[in-house]
């Protein structure tokens, strides 16, 4: 292979990308070396098994991916506003919408939510870490290496260009030769290991490690949504794993599962993909619902209205999520009966979702709302998401779907549910729990600026797209006809509004790091209801000096009434904690090398990487590290300094 | 932080070796043997059932109630079975209902609605 086949050549934008990657990497290496931070990076972050630090790393990576996916989006919007400028050609445009979709779903939305789960769920249930801390670190590194593998594709080898759904036969070896599509397969496969492990981890953590006395129906609603999400992950991700493996066999080893020749069934890929893909969209929306519930009940200063109905609604949505996948390909032509069945099951989902909407409204009813930035994101969610949901029911009508299918109407719909649902929740949750993670709040004034830019930009960007779709504009086109011009220009203006909102958000983070007042108490907002607010800020690495006995739903409210804390000096005992380890990082680095080998079909590299990965697993099998104990004296010292006693 | 005593996990090692052996046997049956298709398919089915049994008993805590106060995880097994049924039956339902997967000549659809997406009758069986 020649060097000019290895690197992508001929695109000025990609050359600029290469230059910036080299410059940023050099700058990071220089800073780490100059300030002698390598040891710190290894000890504090790369080897950590602390759920709070892993959560922070997830969130930072997700923000970086949001930047990358957002840059893709802005490039697409620029192309569509000025189609005659030849900013992007057809091939480059195809690559960009593919990476935009994949990055946003797999490497932004999920990791962002998993990051918040990591930080908050153990705190909410009174646990000192997740059930399997080593596995948790493994999950993170598998996600990060998978994301890196996918992201280097645009400078090395070429990006995938068959859409984030990667439909065969287009994505097969015959029509998409070269490494591009392999990056998609191996990037998702590698990060999928981590997602599945996270599902197992949180399922066990929530079922087995709750504070004494905490019944299932006393768990905070975010913990409930995490539990249900974990179930969906465990049931849905194996389908993706198998589908990706089959397509890898097709592409790399010449099998015929999804090919046009050799009795393959290309539509079987779509079938399997959406059997995972539909539960996947609930994986990214259910935790978001949980976050909104927490934020709304905290800042409405009321107990969540209809807690049990909320929980059952989540369970029902999770169950239905496995029964609706065909609505993504009604136009395949499976016949009226098949389409009718899935049309009805699709519309059924609107029922429990509607229950949740009314419960949020019921919580807000006659409450005294504390209008913080976190609350504003949650309030903006309700009407925006309803717009996305209603158009979803429209798309669910199989006969009407023949008109909407693959048009901008669909594009507008799923951006309305994913941005107003998931992205708003990520911002809301991050702002809400930020003081727990970093010991200071984000600046509220700047936060409101970024909120208004983002939310108004969002509606300006995506609302016109419904009408562009009804005017017949198909998705995934790099050039448009004059009739669609005005709507597209409005849309592009909105997209840049969102970009400004995101930029202000990043500035807020930097500004608040320098100027925000440091937190003195654990209950940053003064209205905390659940157990995470009972811990001091910064949270000690063992979370709880003493774990309270739980006998009510809003634990911290009753602790406050009883005058109790999570530091009862006479009940202190040594705390058993897991040791840090570099093994997960190293193991996943080897699997990264193996995956890279598969992408370029260099089998020597794939086998060597896999063998090294297996050696790491054997080493792990004989690793009898039992962790360590934190002594009572040290706990007392830590608690007294953090609580200012 | 699993086992507290440093013993060789015999059960896991045996299960691991057995599952690899069964996989190799299935591969041989499909690629290297001279058996008739019928025998290969039924043979692989039987191997699959044995394989599932090994996974459940050697790795997946079906017998855990003996050691702890737990119980047989019927609940999870039920959900797993339901999901497997959805995947298999659902795929058959969506992928074959309303199609004729007929390779021997006429590529006619049973219903008129199937007005030609990319998917025509290009496969006569579901599993592979």
Contact A200, A287 (CB under 8 A): no
For residue A321, being part of any structural domain is answered with yes
* Token pair listed for A384: 């925006």
Chain A residue at shortest CA distance from B123: A263
Chain B residue at shortest CA distance from A335: B98
Confidence (pLDDT) at B71 = 62
Q: How far is CA A190 from the centre of its chain?
A: 16
Residue A474, SS3? Answer: strand
Confidence (pLDDT) at B70 = 57
CATH number for the domain harbouring residue A393: 1.20.210.10
Chain B residue at shortest CA distance from A622: B6
pLDDT of A560 over the 90 cut: no
Confidence (pLDDT) at A624 = 85
Measured between beta carbons, the chain B residues lying within 8 angstroms of A331 are 117
CB contact under 8 A, A271 and B91: yes
CB contact under 8 A, A267 and B95: yes
pLDDT of B124 over the 80 cut: no
For residue A544, being part of any structural domain is answered with no
Is B111 an interface residue toward A (CB < 8 Å)?
Answer: yes
Domain that holds residue A315: 285-518
pLDDT of A621 over the 90 cut: no
Confidence (pLDDT) at A643 = 86
**Which of B6, B9, B119 lies nearest to residue A332, judging by beta carbons?**
B119
Contact A371, A315 (CB under 8 A): no
**Which of A265, A333, A621 lies nearest to residue B114, judging by beta carbons?**
A333
pLDDT of A566 over the 90 cut: no
Confidence (pLDDT) at B6 = 59
Contact A433, A120 (CB under 8 A): yes
Confidence (pLDDT) at A642 = 86
* Token pair listed for B27: 């591969």
**Which of A257, A333, A337 lies nearest to residue B119, judging by beta carbons?**
A333
Q: Where are the alpha helices (DSSP H) in A471-569?
A: 485-515, 555-562
Measured between beta carbons, the chain A residues lying within 8 angstroms of B99 are 334-335
Confidence (pLDDT) at A644 = 81
For residue A634, being part of any structural domain is answered with no
CA distance B33 to chain A (A): 19
Measured between beta carbons, the chain A residues lying within 8 angstroms of B4 are 626
**Which of B6, B109, B123 lies nearest to residue A265, judging by beta carbons?**
B123
CA distance A230 to chain B (A): 13
Measured between beta carbons, the chain A residues lying within 8 angstroms of B95 are 265, 267-268, 271, 334
A628, containing H or E segment = strand A628-630
Contact A58, A198 (CB under 8 A): no
Cα–Cα distance, A306 to A290 (Å, whole number): 13
Mutate to test the interface with A, among B71, B122, B124 (most CBs of A within 10 A): B122
Q: Where are the alpha helices (DSSP H) in A367-477?
A: 373-396, 398-404, 408-417, 424-438, 444-470
Among A356, A282, A348, A358, residue whose Cα is nearest residue A312: A356
Among A358, A356, A230, A369, residue whose Cα is nearest residue A295: A369
Confidence (pLDDT) at B97 = 67
Who has greater pLDDT, A351 or B80? A351
Cα–Cα distance, A553 to A531 (Å, whole number): 10
Chain B residue at shortest CA distance from A271: B91
CB contact under 8 A, A334 and B99: yes
**Which of B83, B86, B115 lies nearest to residue A333, judging by beta carbons?**
B115
Confidence (pLDDT) at B102 = 52
CB contact under 8 A, B90 and A275: yes
Give tens-digit pLDDT for B66-105: 555 556 667 777 888 898 899 999 998 888 765 555 544 4
CB contact under 8 A, A334 and B98: yes
Contact A92, A161 (CB under 8 A): no
Confidence (pLDDT) at A188 = 97
For residue A263, being part of any structural domain is answered with no
Number of H helices, E strands in chain B: 3, 0
Tell me the CA distances in angstroms from A61 to A233, B37, B47, one per residue in order: 20, 50, 43
**Which of B93, B118, B125 lies nearest to residue A338, judging by beta carbons?**
B93
Mutate to test the interface with B, among A258, A334, A623 (most CBs of B within 10 A): A334
Confidence (pLDDT) at B65 = 60
Among A609, A441, A624, residue whose Cα is nearest residue A523: A441
Q: CB pairs below 8 Å between A and B: how many?
A: 85
Cα–Cα distance, A471 to A488 (Å, whole number): 12
For residue A133, being part of any structural domain is answered with no
Contact A276, A243 (CB under 8 A): yes
Find the mean pLDDT for residues A181-186.
96
Who has greater pLDDT, A220 or B8? A220
Confidence (pLDDT) at B127 = 40
Measured between beta carbons, the chain A residues lying within 8 angstroms of B37 are none
* Token pair listed for A403: 């008109």
CB contact under 8 A, B91 and A272: yes
Who has greater pLDDT, A2 or A139? A139
CA distance A28 to chain B (A): 35
Q: What percent of chain A has pLDDT over 90?
A: 82
Cα–Cα distance, A511 to A175 (Å, whole number): 49
pLDDT of B60 over the 80 cut: no
Cα–Cα distance, A318 to A299 (Å, whole number): 27
Measured between beta carbons, the chain B residues lying within 8 angstroms of A342 are 94
Is B19 an interface residue toward A (CB < 8 Å)?
Answer: no
Q: What percent of chain A has pLDDT over 70?
A: 100
**Which of A272, A333, A336 lies nearest to residue B117, judging by beta carbons?**
A333
Backbone angles phi, psi at A264, to 5 degrees: -75, 165
Confidence (pLDDT) at A413 = 97
Among A63, A59, A188, A194, residue whose Cα is nearest residue A136: A194
pLDDT of B118 over the 50 cut: no
- How does residue A120 score in pLDDT terms, banded at 50, 70 and 90? very high
Give the side-chain half-sphere CA count within 13 A for B110: 11
For residue A307, being part of any structural domain is answered with yes
A181, containing H or E segment = helix A180-208
Cα–Cα distance, A360 to B128 (Å, whole number): 47
Find the mean pLDDT for residues B60-64.
71
- How does residue B11 score in pLDDT terms, banded at 50, 70 and 90? confident
* Predicted-assembly ipTM surpassing the 0.95 threshold: no
Cα–Cα distance, A556 to A548 (Å, whole number): 10
**Least confident interval from A47-51, A330-334, A416-420, A432-436:** A330-334
For residue A337, being part of any structural domain is answered with yes
List the beta bridge partners of residue A7: A156
CA distance A240 to chain B (A): 12
Find the mean pLDDT for residues B50-65.
81
CB contact under 8 A, B1 and A627: yes
Is B91 an interface residue toward A (CB < 8 Å)?
Answer: yes
Contact A465, A412 (CB under 8 A): yes
Is B112 an interface residue toward A (CB < 8 Å)?
Answer: no
Confidence (pLDDT) at B13 = 85
**Least confident interval from A92-96, A453-457, A516-520, B5-9:** B5-9
Give tens-digit pLDDT for A254-307: 999 999 988 889 999 999 999 999 999 999 999 999 999 999 999 999 999 999
Is B117 an interface residue toward A (CB < 8 Å)?
Answer: yes
A576, containing H or E segment = strand A575-577
pLDDT of A117 over the 50 cut: yes
Name the most confidently modeled range: A308-317, B61-70, B116-125.
A308-317
Backbone angles phi, psi at A576, to 5 degrees: -90, 120
CB contact under 8 A, B116 and A333: yes
* Token pair listed for A127: 């646990």
Cα–Cα distance, A606 to A584 (Å, whole number): 19
CB contact under 8 A, B118 and A169: yes
For residue A338, being part of any structural domain is answered with yes
Contact A478, A83 (CB under 8 A): yes
Number of compact structural domains in chain A: 1
CA distance A120 to chain B (A): 22
B17, containing H or E segment = helix B10-31
Cα–Cα distance, A221 to A429 (Å, whole number): 13
A146, containing H or E segment = helix A133-151
């Amino acid at each position: 292979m020649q060097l000019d086949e290895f690197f992508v050549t001929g695109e000025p934008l990609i050359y600029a990308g290469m230059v910036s990657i080299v410059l940023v990497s050099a700058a990071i290496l220089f800073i780490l070396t100059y300030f002698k931070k390598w040891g710190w990076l290894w000890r504090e972050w790369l080897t950590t098994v602390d759920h709070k630090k892993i959560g922070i790393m997830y969130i930072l990576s997700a923000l970086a991916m949001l930047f990358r996916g957002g840059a893709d989006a802005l490039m697409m919007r620029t192309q569509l506003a000025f189609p005659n400028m030849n900013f992007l050609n057809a091939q480059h445009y195809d690559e960009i919408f593919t990476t935009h979709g994949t990055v946003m779903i797999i490497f932004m939305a999920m990791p962002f939510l998993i990051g918040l789960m990591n930080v908050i769920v153990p705190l909410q249930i009174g646990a000192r870490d997740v059930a399997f801390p080593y596995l948790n670190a493994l999950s993170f590194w598998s996600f990060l290496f998978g994301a890196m593998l996918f992201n280097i594709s645009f400078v090395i080898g070429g990006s995938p260009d068959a859409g984030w759904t990667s439909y065969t036969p287009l994505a097969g070896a015959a029509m998409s030769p070269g490494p591009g599509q392999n990056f998609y397969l191996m990037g998702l496969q590698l990060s999928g290991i981590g997602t599945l492990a996270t599902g197992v981890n949180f399922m066990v953590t929530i079922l087995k490690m709750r504070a004494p006395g905490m019944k299932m129906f006393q768990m905070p609603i975010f913990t409930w949504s995490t539990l249900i999400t974990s179930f969906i992950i465990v049931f849905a991700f194996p389908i993706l794993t198998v589908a990706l493996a089959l397509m890898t066999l097709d592409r790399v080893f010449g099998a015929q599962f999804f090919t046009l020749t050799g009795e393959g069934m290309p539509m079987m890929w779509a079938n399997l993909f959406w059997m995972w893909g539909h539960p996947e969209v609930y994986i990214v929306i259910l935790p978001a619902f949980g976050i909104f519930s927490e934020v709304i009940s905290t800042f409405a200063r009321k107990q969540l209205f209809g807690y049990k109905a909320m929980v059952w609604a989540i369970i029902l949505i999770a169950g239905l999520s496995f029964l609706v996948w065909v609505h993504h390909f009604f136009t395949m032509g499976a016949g009226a009966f098949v389409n009718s069945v899935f049309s009805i099951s699709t519309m059924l989902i609107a029922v429990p979702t509607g229950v949740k909407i009314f419960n949020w409204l019921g919580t807000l009813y006659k409450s005294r709302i504390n209008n913080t930035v976190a609350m504003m994101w949650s309030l903006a969610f309700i009407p925006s998401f309803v717009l996305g949901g209603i158009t979803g029911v429209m798309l669910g009508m199989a006969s009407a779907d023949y008109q909407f299918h693959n048009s901008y109407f669909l594009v507008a719909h799923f951006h309305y549910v994913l941005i107003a649902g998931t992205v708003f929740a990520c911002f809301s949750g991050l702002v809400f729990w930020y003081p727990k993670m970093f010991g200071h709040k984000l600046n509220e004034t700047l936060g409101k600026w970024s909120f208004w830019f983002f939310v108004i930009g969002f509606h300006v960007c995506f609302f016109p797209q419904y009408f562009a779709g009804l005017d017949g504009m198909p998705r995934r086109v790099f050039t448009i006809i004059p009739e669609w011009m005005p709507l597209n220009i409005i849309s592009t203006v909105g997209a840049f509004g969102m970009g400004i909102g995101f930029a202000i958000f990043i500035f807020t983070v930097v500004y608040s790091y320098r100027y925000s007042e440091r937190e003195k108490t654990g209950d940053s907002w003064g209205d905390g209801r659940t157990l995470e607010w009972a811990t001091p800020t910064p949270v000690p690495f063992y979370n709880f000096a003493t774990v309270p006995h739980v006998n009510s739903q809003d634990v911290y409210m009753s602790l406050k009434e009883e005058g109790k804390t999570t530091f009862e000096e006479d009940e202190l005992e040594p705390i058993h904690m897991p040791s840090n380890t570099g093994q997960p990082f190293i193991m996943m680095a080897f699997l990264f090398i193996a995956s890279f080998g598969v992408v370029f079909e260099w089998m020597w590299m794939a086998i060597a990487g896999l063998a090294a990965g297996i050696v790491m697993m054997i080493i792990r099998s004989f690793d009898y590290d039992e962790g360590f104990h934190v002594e009572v004296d040290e706990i007392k010292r830590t608690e007294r300094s953090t609580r200012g006693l | 932080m699993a086992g507290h005593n440093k013993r060789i996990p015999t059960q896991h090692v045996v299960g691991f070796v057995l599952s690899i052996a069964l996989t190799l046997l299935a591969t041989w049956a499909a690629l290297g043997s001279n058996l008739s298709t019928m025998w290969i398919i039924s043979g692989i089915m039987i191997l699959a059932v044995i394989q599932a049994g090994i996974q459940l008993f050697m790795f997946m805590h079906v017998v855990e109630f003996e050691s702890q106060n737990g119980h047989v995880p019927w609940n999870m097994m039920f959900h797993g079975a339901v999901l497997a049924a959805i995947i298999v039956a659902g795929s058959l339902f969506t992928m074959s209902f309303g199609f004729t997967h007929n390779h021997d000549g006429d590529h006619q659809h049973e219903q008129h609605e199937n007005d030609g997406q990319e998917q025509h009758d290009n496969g006569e069986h579901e599993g592979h």
